[in-house]
Structures are given as C-alpha cells and as structure tokens.
Amino acid sequence: MSLALFPLNTVLFPDCILDLQIFEARYLDMIGRCMKQGSGFGVVCILEGEEVGIAPEGFARVGCEALITDFHQQDNGLLGIRVKGGRRFRVLSSEMQRDQLRVAEVEWLSEAPERPLQDEDGDLIALLKALAEHPMVEALNMGTEATGQQSLANQLAYLLPFSELDKIDLLQLDDPQQRLDAIQALLDELQGELFA
C-alpha cells in the first residue's frame, strides 16, 4: 500500500483530531489528491531535522493515517484542515518524489478488538474527563468519551504531555491493556518527577 507522508512534530492516534495549516505546494497538492480520491495521508513523527526538508531517515517508522474531516481558508489566507486519525501503519520503505513529497510503502497494523472499560480503568477515565474540560482539548471537539479500552488508551496517549518518543512507543503497542498499563507507568514516572 502506497501512502503519502506528512512528517510532523507530533504523534497522531486513531480517532483523535488534529488541526493543520497547509502552505507548502507539495502538501497542498497532496491534500487536493486526498480530497478528490476520498483517501488519507500518513502522519509520522519527526525524529530529527525540521518539518521542512527533513532528512530521509528522520521520522518514526510507525504512524497513523489522517483522514480529512473539514477544511477552511484561515484569516492568514492559508488552508486549514482538520483530520481524524485512522489506521495505524508501519513504514516498510519510502522515497522522495520530484515535488519533494515523501511517499511510503506501508503495512497496516491490526487493531485488537475494542474491550469494555474495567473497574481498574476508573482513574484513567477520570483523567480523560478532566482533560476534556481544558479549552485546547475542547476546541478539538474530539468527543472525549471513552467507549472502551482502545478509545481510552488512544485519547490519553494523544492528549497527555508525554515525549514524542514515548508516544511513538505507545502507538506501536497493539493491545489496549498494554497501552493503558504503559500510560499508567509514564504517569507514575511524571508524578515521581514532580514530587522528587
């Protein structure tokens, strides 16, 4: 499966919302093609370099499909788009096209079936509810109501202030319970640092 890549300084998760501002010709063309074909593009996290003209190996090998849900012209005249995270993927290989757009051969990662929330998920559910009240999270209009462990894990991994490398590790985990356990471990670490 061939997928155009959009390297960013962020990690997108399935069913999470991301607002982007598009100004480079290669990405405007890519968005135009996606909208015509009703397809998405791949968001991968930059590991080295900048968002513009990055080194070929400077991005994570795992990413998330971005599906365009809305677009508008911003006050500054640039194209603003809102995307929703789709399927997770692994980059098998990639090449730079003549227009400097990076296109990758990807394999889709399988998702574990959604599991119901457990009693022990209570603290994490409460944390997601608290995050949902933050104005920046509210503006995303993500509908931060966890429908199961997968949904809870994806939203927390996306919204919490973990490092990009930690988020990439979380994105690679297939099992929602493993992802929730890893999130809890990262939260315990953060708490330890705050009270050390």
Position 56 confidence tier, pLDDT thresholds 50, 70, 90: very low
Specify the number of domains making up the chain.
Answer: 2
Q: Could you tell me if 60 and 103 lie in one domain?
A: yes
What CATH number did the domain enclosing 21 receive? 2.30.130.40
How far is residue 102's CA from residue 39's CA, in Å, rounded to a whole number? 16
Domain with 9, as residue range(s), is 2-108
pTM reported for the whole predicted model: 0.90
**What six digits make up the tokens of 8?**
């960013």
pLDDT for 185: 95
In a domain, 167, yes or no: yes
- The answer, yes or no, to whether residue 136 has pLDDT greater than 50, is yes
Q: 90 CB contacts (<8 Å, ≥6 apart)?
A: 61, 62, 106, 107, 109
Bridge partners (DSSP) listed for residue 11? none
Please report the pLDDT score of residue 50 as a whole number: 54
132: its two tokens: 């949902």
**Residue 49, domain member (yes or no):** yes
Would you state the pLDDT for residue 54?
42
Q: What is the pLDDT of residue 52?
A: 47
pLDDT at 17: 95
Q: Do the beta carbons of residue 132 and residue 138 sit within 8 Å?
A: yes
Task: Tell me if 169 is assigned to some domain.
Answer: yes
Q: Does 129 fall in a domain?
A: yes
Q: Is 49's pLDDT higher than 80? A: no
Q: Check residue 12 and give its pLDDT.
A: 97
Closest Cα partner for 177 from 130, 124, 128? 124
| Mean pLDDT over each residue of the chain, to the nearest integer | 90
Start-to-end CA distance of the chain, whole Å, equals 47
